[in-house]
Structure 1
């Protein structure tokens, strides 16, 4: 995938620059130590025009992520949302993925840098994991312990574990990895939350060891509107494999159904699952085809 060209604009600290002219500090803590924070926001091409989905929540979470690890965040959410819409317009993007990134200044000591910069990029976006059902595998790697870093923080360095897990999974022919937490329970996929269905009820791991995704929260809200029971509880690997169906959720992914976990194939037809119902409702919500926003 090509993320930018000669005419691509990016937003850097209050101004729009051509992507190939933007520069970063080679002595930045972000470069040397991964001391930075990221977000991912989806823009959808709706009948009301290009619309960012829950951008305020994403920028508020970016602020919180920075606060958890001591990165300065002096920017106002409303201003960042406005600049993001302007960035999409300058790049003529209607359906896109937006990547805000907060990087830190120079400092070779293991103390917070005194300065930070915000960069917002955007590029055309298609289905992250495709449109069909995917194959999962239980990864030998585990989600970092919450005793190491706050699990609710979207810190760049944490994604090294996700890259390692995904690389190992795809090398064995799977689409995505499922990581366990430090206690051996199911945590999440490399960059997505997970739900399973069993006997007409949805189950998902509780917060504490997982990343509490905004899409995950939206699914919980939609399930409430649709009178679908959801239980948040620790899940054993055996429960994942004994489920009737499963699906993943995330900003980049949206909602995608699961065909199998390792050698276990889910027998229930995806179209008949609660996940498929949630998937349709989520699509209608993001494309503003139904006004669930009034309810949730």
Structure 2
């Protein structure tokens, strides 16, 4: 996929510059050690114009991710949101995926950087996992232990774990991978949160060994607004296999239904599932086709 052309602009340290002229610091810690933090946002074309969904929450999480790894963050989030809207305008984008990245300067030592840069890019990108039901497998690769790494932060280096799990799943004929935690409970997909339906209730792994997704929080709020019972508990592989249906949530993927896990096909038709109702509600929410304030 081509993410930019000769005319594409990015926001880089206070200026809009052409993406192909940005340059790379070949001695930066982010390049050598994965010492950086990033976010993923989506802008939607609504009847109210181009709107970035939960921009404040995403930039606040970006700031907290930097704090978690000692990466300097000197920017004002309100200004960054304004610049992001401006970035969409100068690139003539009404709907887009947005990627802010905080990366460090030159430093070959294994010490926290005293300087950081910011880059924000945007491009047209459909749902990350497509729009059809997906097949996933239980990966042999585990989520990082939260005692060894701030797993609640969206930090560049930890996504090597996700790349390995996803690549292995695709090689085996699946679309995505589910990763277990250090105790063998299913935590999440490589970059999405997991929900299962069983006996008209929705279950999702609790915070602690998972990434605290903003879309996950939105799904929980939607469940409550629709009157569906949602329970946060640790889920075994057996729990996943015995579910009636399941789905993933994430900014890039949206809400995507799961057809099967390993060789187990879920018995409930997706169109009849609670997940399908949540998917429709979420789409209406981000497109502002209903009262946005209901579940904020």
Same fold (TM over 0.5): yes
Residue of structure 1 in register with 2:153 after alignment = 153
Residue of structure 2 in register with 1:129 after alignment = 129
Alpha-carbon distance in structure 2 between the residues aligned to 1:82 and 1:61: 17
Alpha-carbon distance in structure 2 between the residues aligned to 1:34 and 1:104: 10
Unmatched runs of 5 consecutive residues or more in structure 2: none
Residue of structure 2 in register with 1:109 after alignment = 109
Shift of 1:295: 4.0
Alpha-carbon distance in structure 2 between the residues aligned to 1:31 and 1:151: 20
Find the residue that maps to 1:25 and give its secondary structure.
coil
Residue of structure 1 in register with 2:230 after alignment = 230
Q: Does 1:84 align with 2:46?
A: no
Residue of structure 1 in register with 2:51 after alignment = 51
Q: Is the 8 A contact 1:195 1:203 kept in 2?
A: yes
Alpha-carbon distance in structure 2 between the residues aligned to 1:215 and 1:22: 31
Alpha-carbon distance in structure 2 between the residues aligned to 1:155 and 1:63: 11
Alpha-carbon distance in structure 1 between the residues aligned to 2:196 and 2:114: 44
Give the TM-score taking structure 1 as reference length: 0.99
Alpha-carbon distance in structure 2 between the residues aligned to 1:38 and 1:98: 10
How much is the aligned-residue C-alpha RMSD, in angstroms?
0.7
Find the residue that maps to 1:130 and give its secondary structure.
coil
Q: CA offsets per residue over residues 172-215 of structure 1, 9 Å max, x none?
A: 00000000001100000000000000000000000000001000
Find the residue that maps to 1:45 and give its secondary structure.
strand
Q: Is the 8 A contact 2:222 2:295 kept in 1?
A: no
Q: Is the 8 A contact 1:285 1:293 kept in 2?
A: no
Alpha-carbon distance in structure 1 between the residues aligned to 2:280 and 2:123: 25
The verdict on how the C-alpha distance between 1:204 and 1:295 changes in structure 2, with shifts beyond 3 A counting, is closer
Q: Does 1:61 align with 2:67?
A: no
Residue of structure 2 in register with 1:192 after alignment = 192
Find the residue that maps to 1:117 and give its secondary structure.
strand
Shift of 1:292: 3.6
Find the residue that maps to 2:212 and give its secondary structure.
coil
Q: Is the 8 A contact 1:39 1:62 kept in 2?
A: yes
Q: Is the 8 A contact 1:28 1:107 kept in 2?
A: yes
Alpha-carbon distance in structure 1 between the residues aligned to 2:291 and 2:157: 37
Alpha-carbon distance in structure 2 between the residues aligned to 1:37 and 1:78: 18
Find the residue that maps to 1:72 and give its secondary structure.
coil
Q: Is the 8 A contact 1:36 1:101 kept in 2?
A: yes
Find the residue that maps to 1:60 and give its secondary structure.
helix
Q: Is the 8 A contact 1:134 1:259 kept in 2?
A: yes
Shift of 1:293: 2.3
Unmatched runs of 5 consecutive residues or more in structure 1: none
Q: Does 1:95 align with 2:63?
A: no
Shift of 1:116: 0.2
Find the residue that maps to 1:101 and give its secondary structure.
strand
Shift of 1:267: 1.4
Shift of 1:99: 0.3
Shift of 1:228: 0.7
How many corresponding residue pairs?
A: 296
Q: Is the 8 A contact 2:138 2:261 kept in 1?
A: yes
